Amino acid sequence: MTVRVLFVCLGNICRSPMAEAIFQRLVDDAGLSRRIEVDSAGTSAYHVGELAHPGTRRVLSRHGIAYDGRARQLAPGDATNGKTYFIAMDAENAEVLRDRFGDLPHVHRLLDFATHTPVHDVPDPYYTDNFDYVYRLVEDGCRGLLAAIRTDEGL
Ligand code: 4NP
């Protein structure tokens, strides 16, 4: 059986595409790409169809990770697409998910899985330009998330 992991932020150009790309790399490295599907989406339609923010692409490419996805908005089908872990970048994203889709069984904040930071919301680099700091937070969260899913799913 395949499970889905859907990373969610506001614009789907900075944080959630970064998380998608890092997590996909971790999943590939673990040999789990046939068991875990990875995607991302935004709660807003502000940037639909756009490439990821240059800051996100730059920091990913500095870490040797290619990403050419384009922004999309959350769609009703995201809530009915098999077992999906919805991974919000911050509390506001998680709230929008619940408002839009009701009581989903698996909504978490990414940094609830991080082990090296007391921060629970990924700060938005669209406003701070601090893509390096965000990369470190997101990578920490992604490692913890993969470990949790492996335990949950027996992978
Ligand atoms: P993201 O960042 O949610 O991490 O993709 C943002 C991107 C765009 C905007 C806000 C946040 N915006 O207001 O256009």
11 lines ligand 1 (CB under 6 A): yes
CB 10 within 8 A of CB 45: no
pLDDT of residue 48: 98
Q: Give the number of domains in the chain.
A: 1
pLDDT at 132: 98
- Strands 84-88, 36-42: parallel, antiparallel or unpaired by DSSP? unpaired
pLDDT of residue 1: 84
Q: Per-residue confidence at 89, pLDDT binned at 50, 70, 90?
A: very high
Q: Looking at 124, 136, 143, 150, which residue is catalytic?
A: 124
Each residue of 118-139: pLDDT tens digit? 999 999 999 999 999 999 999 9
Name the band, by pLDDT with cuts 50, 70 and 90, for residue 64.
Answer: very high
CA-nearest residue for atom 8, ligand 1, is 11
Closest residue by Cα to residue 113 from 4, 21, 7, 3: 7
CATH number of domain containing 125 = 3.40.50.2300
Amino acid of residue 69 = G
Q: Which domain holds residue 106?
A: 3-153
Q: Which of 14, 15, 39, 140 is catalytic?
A: 15
pTM of the model: 0.98
For the record, the structure tokens of 63 come out as 């870490």
Each residue's pLDDT tens digit, 142-154? 999 999 999 999 9
Q: What is the pLDDT of residues 22-61, one digit of tens each?
A: 999 999 999 999 999 999 999 999 999 999 999 999 999 9
57 in catalytic set: no
Residue 4 annotated to the active site: no
Q: How far is the CA of 155 from the centre of ligand 1 (A)?
A: 33
Indicate which atom in ligand 1 lies nearest the CA of residue 10.
3
Give the span between the Cα atoms of 101 and 103, in whole angstroms. Answer: 7
